[in-house]
Amino acid sequence: MHNVKMIIEEQIESYLHMLREQERANQTIKKYAHDLSALAMWLNGRELNKENLITWKQYLITRYAAASVNTMLAAINGFLSFMGYPELKVKPVKIQRQIFCSTEKELTKAEYFRLVTAAKKKGNERLALVIQTICGTGIRVSELQFITAESVRTGRAEVFCKGKRRSIFLPKDLRKSLTSYLRAKKRTAGPVFLTKTGKPLDRSNIWRDMKALCKSAGVAPTKVFPHNLRHLFARTYYSLEKDLLRLSDILGHSNISTTRIYTMESGYVHAKQLNKMGLIAIATT
């Protein structure tokens, strides 16, 4: 009689402990914990076998986008390898490579500036500067903590994320604005962006405050989230420099394929480019 494989809380905790020892990002560990707990709840005491995992995968496909399903499967497959069950791993959903981004999610430069203006009009100078810092440097939200008073003075921040260290340069005008902000706050050291209790801002703080700007800025909520500012930085940089490899280094990507996703333009832009090529004969009546 074969041993029945199950998924229990102690196993999940052991796996998460291993991820922490590997210095995986906190957000990644939280995501994996959520996905594994969801699987355990769905199994509800049933055996952890290939048939049930394939059924779980089909269940996810009916409820989430393919990319989201694959991130969940990555958590599960990592756990299965850790437990010594590699034969149970399930294949990711095949996704045809996108060549355009959705116009519903593409934040334009004009919309970005409207968000900054809306934040200032609401008297939220901190939010206006957070938005400009992310968009002006291309950093991740989790990397805001490395924008310190010291880095504002030197013009360069040393960022450590996902096991890698890289230098981020701060634009001259951004440094001026951050210097004025720090002077007003009477701070000369430590992270620039803090909550009222003195803790570094986190993703939820910024996400909530940005969403509150949508109506007054006249920008669709689907476009307003912190990571979209990083995408706008990438598209703007690439349109000027056309240097994908250097952009990948600036963004801190391990895979240049990820960077290529960040530089995708909308189908509307592509259509305009096709029309400019002049390769179609003018129709006659």
Helices (H), 44-148: 50-61, 66-83, 109-121, 125-137
Note if 17 is an active site residue: no
The half-sphere exposure of 138 on its side-chain side, counting CA atoms within 13 A, is 23
Please identify which of the residues 162, 175, 187, 203 carries the catalytic annotation: 162
Cα separation, 82 vs 11, in Å, equals: 9
Please identify which of the residues 227, 242, 246, 270 carries the catalytic annotation: 227
Please identify which of the residues 57, 126, 223, 230 carries the catalytic annotation: 230
Note if 227 is an active site residue: yes
Return the DSSP state at 23.
T
Cα separation, 128 vs 191, in Å, equals: 16
Residue with structure tokens 């801190």? 252
Please identify which of the residues 57, 126, 140, 223 carries the catalytic annotation: 140
Note if 105 is an active site residue: no
CB atoms within 10 A of CB 259: 21
CB 213 within 8 A of CB 128: no
Note if 91 is an active site residue: no
Q: Annotated active-site positions, please?
A: 140, 162, 227, 230, 253, 262
